[in-house]
A = this chain, B = another copy of it.
Amino acid sequence: MSRIENRTFDELQIGDSASIVRTLTFKDIELFAAMSGDVNPAHVDPEFARSDMFHKVVAHGMWGGALISTVLGTKLPGPGTFYLAQTLRFRRPIGLGDTVTVTVKVAQKSGQDHRVSLDCAALNQRGEVVIEGVADVIAPMEKVSRERVTLSDVALRK
């Protein structure tokens, strides 16, 4: 996909949805830790993680939160969206190798101020809910369609 496009307030319909799919790797965890500074050993220290509540390395909960914001910011509604609020319930851990499908779905529209509520959910490969929540945004009024920016490569060095 070389272009990034939004869905304007007028185009959005109740029930419209968009998703991304990601499989958790240790590099994802290292990147999240480097970005946030969150070196909680549940995520970056396998020996501790084995002794901890899930008995394995799991993703930072907010990794899933970030993926929700990715769908909102790049797909639905996409560029021009004003992010007002987000609720998140962390229902199950995401382990290494788990594949999560993160979906946002238009639940409510308010014509007066262009506010839109979207139901958000991340499901694992077994169809279990790992995160759920609600996003409140002001949807864009103007159509945006732009060349997608190519990201820098990221290399991790011990």
Verify B61–A62 contact, CB threshold 8 A.
Answer: no
Chain B residues within 8 Å of A4, by CB:
39-41
The answer to whether B83 touches A85, judged by C-beta atoms less than 8 angstroms apart, is: no
- Kindly state whether residue A23 has any CB partner on chain B within 8 Å: no
Q: In the complex, which range does the number of interface residues on chain A fall in? A: 35 or more
Contacts known (A33-B151, A153-B157, A156-B152); A38 close to B61, Cβ less than 8 A = no
A35's partner among B44, B45, B66, B144 (CB-CB below 8 A) is B66
Q: Is the interface of A mostly helix, strand, loop or mixed?
A: mixed
Residues of chain B within 8 A of A90, CB atoms compared = 83-86
User: Which stretch (A9-17, A70-78, A105-113, A121-129) binds chain B?
Assistant: A70-78
Q: Is A101 an interface residue (CB 8 A)?
A: no
Return A94 CB to nearest CB of chain B, in Å: 12
CA distance A89 to B134 in the complex (A): 12
Task: Known A-B contacts: A36-B67, A40-B74. Give 5 more (CB < 8 A).
Answer: A38-B69, A41-B149, A45-B149, A86-B87, A154-B156
How distant is the Cα of A149 from the Cα of B44 in the complex, in angstroms? Answer: 7
Give bound CA distance, A87 to B20, whole Å: 22
Report the separation of the CA atoms of residues A21 and B40 in the bound assembly, to the nearest whole angstrom: 17
Q: Which residues of chain B are near A20, meaning CB under 8 Å? A: 37
Contacting residues, chain B, for A52 (C-beta < 8 A): 79-80
Residue in B closest to A40 when the chains form the complex, CB atoms: B73
